[in-house]
Chain A
C-alpha cells in the first residue's frame, strides 16, 4: 500500500470510530436534558433516577468522543497537509468556530452535568444539560458545514497556486447539500439513541427490574422512534435528490447505474463489475429508482459511464454501503410501527418478543450511520473536494512507515477502548436506573463514600441536596 492509501485507511478508521460517539452522545445529551427538565418541572423521582442513570452512561461515551475527536483535529494537519494548505482560508475558521462555540460549551458545563447535582439548583443543572446538548449540535453543525463544503463547494475561489480564498462566508457555510446533511445526521443520532434507550429499557422490562423507570423510558423511546424513523426516511430522500443534482456520479454508484437511463429501475441486489462496467447477478424492479429519485416514471438519471474511469469511485463499496443503510432504515421502521401497534393494543410493556426485537435492533442505528458515511465519503472519491481537488494530491509528506506504525497502534488502542467501553457501560446499563442512594460497595477499594471528615469539609455547599 502506498502513503495515500495508508493515510486514507487511517482517516477512515479514526473518523469511522469517532462518529459512533457523537452519534451516541448528541441524542443521549438531549435525552438527559429532557429528563433533567422533567425532574425540575414535575419533581417525580422516576425522572431523577433515569437522568442519573443515563448521565452515567453518557459520561463514558462523552469521554470516548473527546479523546477520539482530538486525534482528528490534528490528523488533518499531520496526514493531509496538502489538503490543509489548500483549504485553510475556508475550513480553518469553521474548525476554529467548532472549538470555540461547541467544544468549550460542552467542556465548560459537562462538569456541572456530571458532578454538579447537589451543588447547583435543579434549574442550573437543567441549563447546564441544555448547554452540553446544544454544544453537541453546534459541533455537528460546523463539521457538517465543512464536510458539505467539501462535497458541494461554493463561495470560494481557487487560485493558481491551488489555494482557496473565501468570497462569501454565507455561501461557504450554507452550501446546497448542507441542510440535508445536517438534518440527516442529527436525526440519525436521535434515532440511534431512541433505539439504544429502547433496547436498554426493554432489557430491564424483560428482567422485571425497575419497572416504573423502564416503562417511562421505553415509552419515550418508542414515541421518538415512531416519529423519527419516517422523518429520517423523508430527509434521506431529500438528500438523495440533492445528490442526484450535485453529485450525479456518486448517486449512480449508489444505484449501480452504468448507463444514463430514462426511467431507471431500482437494483435490489447486484455485483457491480468495475472492469466490465456492468452489474452481475442483478435483481431489478422496473421504474422504481426513477420514481423515488425524480418522482416521475421517465426521469433521466446520469450513469457512471458519463464520466471517465479515473473519475469514478469504487462502486461496490458505495453500492453495498447504501443498501445496508437503507435496509436498516426499513427494519427500524418496521420495529417502530410494531411498537405503535402494540401500544394501541395496550401490550407495549408486556410483549416478550417485542422486548427481544428492540434489544436486537439496539446496535443497528450505529451500523446505519457508518454505512451512510461510507456511502457519502467513498462515493465522492476520487475527489477530496468534489470535482476540484483529488485525494491523492492532498496527502502530507510523511513517510508511509510512520503512518503504518500509527495506524497499527490506533487500531489496537481503539479496539481496546471499544471493549472497555462495552464492559463498563454494560455494567452500568445492567445495574439499571437505581432508585435513590446507592449503598457503599465494600468490594470496591479506595472510595470510602461515607468518610465523615472529608465529606464534612464541604457539607455546607452540599446540604441542599435535591430529592430530599
Chain B
C-alpha cells in the first residue's frame, strides 16, 4: 500500500463504499439482532415492544443494503457482476429471508389467531438473513474462482467452513447490537431480558471472532501474511487488543445504570471488525483477483456518482438522524403499524392524569 495511492479517486470511492457497508452493518445489524433475539423473549408483551422499537427505522436501515449494492454496481462494477453470481444462493436466500422479515412488521400486528406464525417469520427471517450474510462474508475472505473476467465456480462454491463461523459470529454480534438497542430503548421486564441475553450474545461474539480470525489466518495464507508480516504485526496489533478491551467493557456495563453504553460499545466492536476485514482484504474488490484500481468504472460515471455522494448523502444522513430523533426515548406499545394512530388520545390523558390523582 503505497502512500501515493492513499488519496486518489479509487481509494476515496472505496471509502464511500466501505462507509455504506459499515452503516448498513451497524444499522440493520441492530434491527436484525432484535429479530434474532425475538423468540427467546419470554412474553408476548416483550415481543410487541421489541418490534415496536424498530418499526419506524428498520426500512431506512435496510435501504443501506440497496445503497451498497447500487454503489458497487456504479463504482466497482466488477465487484457487482462477479460477486453476485458467485454468491447466488446465499444472496437469494438472504433476500427471501428479508422478505418474510419485512412483511412481518406490517402483518404481525394485524394478525389474531396465527400471530405465532409471524413471530416465526420475523425471527426466522432475521436469523436466515444473518447466516447468509455470514456465508457471503466467509466466502469473500476465502476468495472467488474467476476465469476471463467472470465468475467460474459452481452454485455451491460459496460454501466454506469460514462462512459458517462468520454466520455464527454475526448471529452473536447482531444479537449483541440488538440487545444493546433494547436495553437503551425499552424498560421493565423487556430490558431485563435484553440485559440477560446480551451476556450470551457477547460470549458467542467473542468466541466466534477469535475462531474466524484464527481460521482465516490458517486457511487463507494471504490473510495470514497480511497480519503477521513484519512490521504489519506491530502496526495492526492494536486492532485485536482494543477489540478485546471493549468486549470486556461491554461485559462490565451490561448491568450498569447507563442504558446506552452496551449499544454504543457494541457498535464500536463492529466498527473494529470491519477495520479488521479491510486489513485482510485491502485493496481488492474481488479478493486477490481484482483491485479497486482495476475494477473502477469510468471517470464519467465516477464524477456523476461523486456529486450525489457529496451533496445528497449528508442530507440523507441528516433526515435519517431526524427520524431517530422523532422516535427518541423509550418505546411504548403505541407505536405500531395498523394500530390506529388516534388511540393515544384518550388513554394518554388518563395516563397523565392517573398518577396525579393517586398522588
Contacts and interface: CB of A to CB of B under 8 A. Distances in A.
B73 A88 contact: yes
A440 B319 CA distance: 34
B42 interface: no
Contacts of A52: 340-342
A120 B354 contact: no
A254 to B, nearest CB: 32
Interface stretch (A72-80, A273-281, A287-295, A334-342): A72-80
A119 B326 contact: yes
B85 A66 contact: no
B192 interface: no
B342 A438 contact: yes
A64 interface: yes
B75 A66 contact: no
23 contacts: A56-B338, A77-B81, A77-B85, A78-B87, A78-B91, A81-B80, A88-B73, A93-B305, A110-B60, A111-B59, A111-B327, A112-B326, A114-B56, A119-B326, A413-B100, A445-B112, A447-B339, A453-B188, A454-B332, A455-B344, A461-B329, A467-B345, A468-B345
A351 interface: no
B151 interface: yes
Nearest to B81: A81
Contacts of A66: 59, 62, 102
Interface in B293-341: 297-298, 300-301, 304-305, 308-309, 312-313, 316, 319-320, 322-323, 326-327, 329-330, 332-341
A451 B319 CA distance: 31
Contacts of A455: 332-334, 344, 347-348, 351
Contacts of A88: 73-74, 77, 80-81, 297, 301
Interface in A414-457: 417, 420, 424, 427-428, 434, 436-438, 440, 443-457
A196 to B, nearest CB: 18
B121 to A, nearest CB: 10
Contacts of A413: 96, 99-100
A81 B150 contact: yes
Contacts of B102: 63, 66-67
Contact of A398 (B85, B313, B346): B85
> Which 5 A-B pairs have CB atoms at the shortest separation, nearest pair first?
A88-B77, A111-B56, A77-B84, A92-B74, A81-B81
A78 B92 contact: yes
Given A108-B60, A454-B333, A462 B348 contact: yes
A91 B67 CA distance: 14
Given A89-B301, A92-B75, A96-B74, A110 B59 contact: yes
Nearest to A168: B300
A93 B323 contact: no
A89 B44 CA distance: 50
Contacts of A451: 333
A447 B335 CA distance: 11
Interface in B89-106: 89, 91-92, 95-96, 98-100, 102-103, 105-106
A111 B264 CA distance: 23
Contact of B319 (A100, A109, A167): A109
A70 B62 contact: yes
A60 interface: yes
A418 to B, nearest CB: 11
A104 interface: yes
A85 B148 CA distance: 13
Contacts of A461: 329
A111 B57 contact: yes
Interface in B34-73: 44-45, 47-49, 55-57, 59-60, 62-63, 65-67, 69-71, 73
B77 A85 contact: yes
Contacts, number: 320
B152 interface: yes
Interface string B14-45: 00000000000000000000000000000011
Nearest to A443: B112
Interface in A129-177: 131, 165-167, 169
B312 A465 contact: no
Interface stretch (A26-34, A322-330, A373-381, A399-407): A399-407
A354 interface: no
Given A56-B338, A468-B345, A63 B70 contact: no
Contacts of A457: 187, 329-330, 332
Contacts of A110: 59-60
Contact of B308 (A96, A436, A463): A96
B347 A465 contact: no
Contacts of A448: 45, 333
A78 B309 CA distance: 25
A98 B63 CA distance: 11
B221 interface: no
A343 to B, nearest CB: 31
A49 B16 CA distance: 44
Given A111-B323, A457-B332, 11 more contacts: A73-B69, A77-B80, A85-B150, A95-B70, A396-B151, A398-B155, A447-B336, A449-B339, A450-B347, A459-B352, A463-B349
Contacts of B312: 100-101
B82 interface: yes
Given A77-B85, A169-B300, A417-B103, A449 B347 contact: yes
Contacts of A454: 49, 188, 332-334
Given A84-B81, A118-B344, A417-B103, A107 B74 contact: no
B78 to A, nearest CB: 8
